[in-house]
Structure 1
Amino acid sequence: MTKYLISFPAPAMDIADEDMAAVGEASHAVIREAKRAGVYVFGGGINEDAAPLMVAADGTVTHETYPQTKNFNGGFCVLELPSRAAAVQWAAKLAKACRCSQELREFQYDPES
């Protein structure tokens, strides 16, 4: 089976404060469903309060990031699914729950993962 990343950037989730609890419950319900189905690998939200670090091969740490990922935020989950069509179905469930479109990406196969 193939692993898929389903994600959205934080600004895409433009939800009124009074609706956030319902959105949270709806999205958690989809994750619980994925767990029951045995397709859930892991997921969560990027902690925007913790600044990213760049770690070099020699262990040197700097307080920076790649320019392309400077604004990497939002929520994500990784599901292991039998097909891209199944991944689209799960992404649609999450889009409905989160009230915003989801980006779908496929991980390359790695026999050691």
Structure 2
Amino acid sequence: MTKYLISFPSGAMDVSAEELPAVSDAAHAVVAEAKDAGIWVFGGGIDESVPPVLVDGDGAVTEGTYPETKQLEGGYTILELPSREAALEWAAKIAVACRCAQEVRAFMYDPAS
């Protein structure tokens, strides 16, 4: 089975403060469904109040990200699924819950792990 990253940037979730509790409940329901199905690996949101840093091989720490990389933000879910089609189906469930489109990416298989 392949692990899939399903994600969205925080700016994509454009909901009012009044809608936020319903969105949270819907998102938690999808998480519970994924856990019950045995496909849940990990999920959560990036803490945008903590700035990213780069750590070099010598331990040197530099504020920020790679210059060519946009800052990572938003919500992320990793599911282990039998097919891309299944990943797209779960992304649609998350999109409904979070009220925004989801990006889907497959992790490469590493036979050594």
Normalised TM-score (structure 1):
0.96
Gaps of 5+ in 1: none
Amino acid at match of 1:28: H
What are the residue-to-residue correspondences of 1:50-65 with 2, within 5 Å? 50-65=50-65
What amino acid is aligned across from residue 60 of structure 1 in structure 2?
Answer: A
Superposition RMSD in Å:
1.0
Within 5 Å, which residues of 2 pair with 1:1-113? 1-113=1-113
Deviation at 1:81, TM superposition (A): 0.2
TM-score by length of 2: 0.96
Aligned partners of 2:12, 2:79: CA distance in 1, in Å? 21
SS in 1 for 2:64: coil
Q: For the residues of structure 1 that align with 2:29 and 2:46, how far apart are their CA atoms?
A: 20
3-state SS of 1:69 partner = coil
Identity of paired residues, percent?
61
Q: Gaps (5+ residues) in structure 2?
A: none
Which range moves more in the overlay, 35-44 or 69-78?
A: 69-78
1:86, distance to aligned residue in structure 2 (A) = 0.4
| Cα deviation digits, residues 30-75 of structure 1 (max 9, x gap) | 0110000000000100000111010001111111211343431000
